[in-house]
Structure 1
């Protein structure tokens, strides 16, 4: 047995970087053909659930794929909160710098508080996509 992780474990690691856990329900918004299929698959593998577009109940996490030309980011973030459970997380995925559709961090920094969210961290979600973790500020939580 080698010490390296197999393909299934490596795929699950992508989703684990987002802090996702088994059993969580993840809503996906903004899907298009440019989205990272490996990341999407890893989320389903780790959580044990397919990504949902129209949830029947509240969700633990919203995965929002967003590009600069997609419209008003504040409106999209407010819409992302519709089905999000208290204490849930919005992962805003944007193309990395130099990629088509890149969103400036300052735009995210301006939009998040207007939508009632605060940015807690940023990660490299995949080769092409940057992830920004957004949550409701603790003072606003009940």
Structure 2
């Protein structure tokens, strides 16, 4: 399936680094989340997205909107089940969409939560993704 910005969901899932066997926790899902992207991610990991976990997860997929509140709170919550070497994909509405999150808020939120912004990715016509990682000195 192709999105309006020319990416396919399969290439978006690959760009996000999803591979079979990864434990991926999803937080912040709502009706506006890109279902086709979610399905493609589940296909790529060959499993379901987790909502709760008794073990550390490799990746947290965090859907976040401006109306969800302070992005710091969402990022701190996302760290709860994340493995020391894991990372977060923060998905926010694209510019011009309802509930768009200002990049300055994301950068400040990442810093406050003790995370570093890594590479961004265009994942669908309505959502953009930003990878957040623990700074290298904090990974164990």
Same structural fold, with TM-score higher than 0.5 when normalized by the shorter chain? yes
Give the structure 2 partner of residue 126 of structure 1: 124
**Moved >4 Å (runs of 4+):** none
Q: Deviations over 1:43-79 (max 9, x none)?
A: 1001011111111211100000000010111011011
Q: Deviations over 1:6-55 (max 9, x none)?
A: xxxx5432211111111101100000000000110001001011111111
Contact 1:13 1:42 in 2 (8 A): no
Give the structure 1 partner of residue 72 of structure 2: 74
Contact 1:89 1:133 in 2 (8 A): yes
Give the structure 2 partner of residue 141 of structure 1: 139
1:110 aligns with 2:114: no
SS in 2 for 1:132: strand
Listed as ranges, the gaps of 5+ residues in structure 1 are: 1-9
Cα displacement (A) at 1:89:
0.9
Cα displacement (A) at 1:94:
0.1
SS in 1 for 2:95: coil
Larger radius of gyration: 1
Give the structure 1 partner of residue 30 of structure 2: 32
Q: 1:23 aligns with which of 13, 21, 24?
A: 21
Contact 2:56 2:81 in 1 (8 A): yes
Give the structure 1 partner of residue 84 of structure 2: 86
SS in 2 for 1:79: helix
Listed as ranges, the gaps of 5+ residues in structure 2 are: 1-7
How far apart, CA to CA, are the structure 1 residues paired with 2:107 and 2:10? 29
